[in-house]
Amino acid sequence: MSTTVGILYPGYSAEDDYPRAEAALGGGSRLPLVHTEMREDAHRVDALLDIGGEDVLAAGAARVAAEAGPLDSIVWACTSGSFVFGWDGAAAQVAALQEVAGVPASSTSFAFVDACRKLGITRVAVGATYPDDVAEAFVDFLGKAGITVLSLSARGIITAAEVGTLPGDLVLEFAAAADHADAQAVLLPDTALHTVDLLDDLDTRVGKPVLTANQVSIWQGLRLAGAERARTGLGALFAAG
DSSP character string of 139-163? HHHHHHTT-EEEEEEE-----HHHH
Task: Return d(Cα 200, Cα 36) in angstroms, integer.
Answer: 29
Answer yes or no: do 53 and 74 share one domain. Answer: yes
Answer yes or no: do 161 and 228 share one domain. Answer: no
Residue 163 near residue 127 (C-beta atoms within 8 A): no
- Mean pLDDT on 73-79: 98
φ/ψ of 15, rounded to 5, equals -65, -20
- pLDDT for 200 equals 98
φ/ψ of 182, rounded to 5, equals -95, 0
Identify the CATH number of the domain in which residue 153 sits: 3.40.50.12500
Is the pLDDT at 150 greater than 90? The verdict is yes
- pLDDT for 16 equals 98
Is the pLDDT at 133 greater than 80? The verdict is yes
Is the pLDDT at 1 greater than 80? The verdict is no
pLDDT digits (tens, 9 = 90+) for 155-190: 999 888 899 999 999 999 999 999 999 999 999 999
How long, in residues, is the chain?
A: 241
Answer yes or no: do 63 and 149 share one domain. Answer: no
- pLDDT for 124 equals 98
Is the pLDDT at 36 greater than 90? The verdict is yes
pLDDT digits (tens, 9 = 90+) for 190-231: 999 999 999 999 999 999 999 999 999 999 999 999 998 999
Kind and range of the H or E run holding 97: helix 86-101
Question: Residues 6 or more apart from 109 whose CB is under 8 A from it?
Answer: 79, 82, 83, 90, 138, 141, 189
Provide the residue type at 21 as one letter.
A
Answer yes or no: do 16 and 106 share one domain. Answer: yes
Kind and range of the H or E run holding 100: helix 86-101
- pLDDT for 7 equals 98
Angle in degrees, CA 141, 60, 87, rounded to 5: 15
Is the pLDDT at 110 greater than 80? The verdict is yes
Strand pairing class (210-212; 185-188): parallel
Domain that holds residue 53: 3-111+214-239
Is the pLDDT at 153 greater than 90? The verdict is yes
Answer yes or no: do 138 and 95 share one domain. Answer: no
- pLDDT for 241 equals 79
Is the pLDDT at 27 greater than 80? The verdict is yes
Answer yes or no: do 127 and 206 share one domain. Answer: yes
- pLDDT for 41 equals 86
Answer yes or no: do 105 and 166 share one domain. Answer: no
241 CB-side CA count, 13 A: 2
Count of domains observed in the chain: 2
Look at the pTM and tell me if it is higher than 0.95.
Answer: yes
Answer yes or no: do 103 and 171 share one domain. Answer: no
Task: Share the mean pLDDT of the chain.
Answer: 96
- Mean pLDDT on 90-104: 98
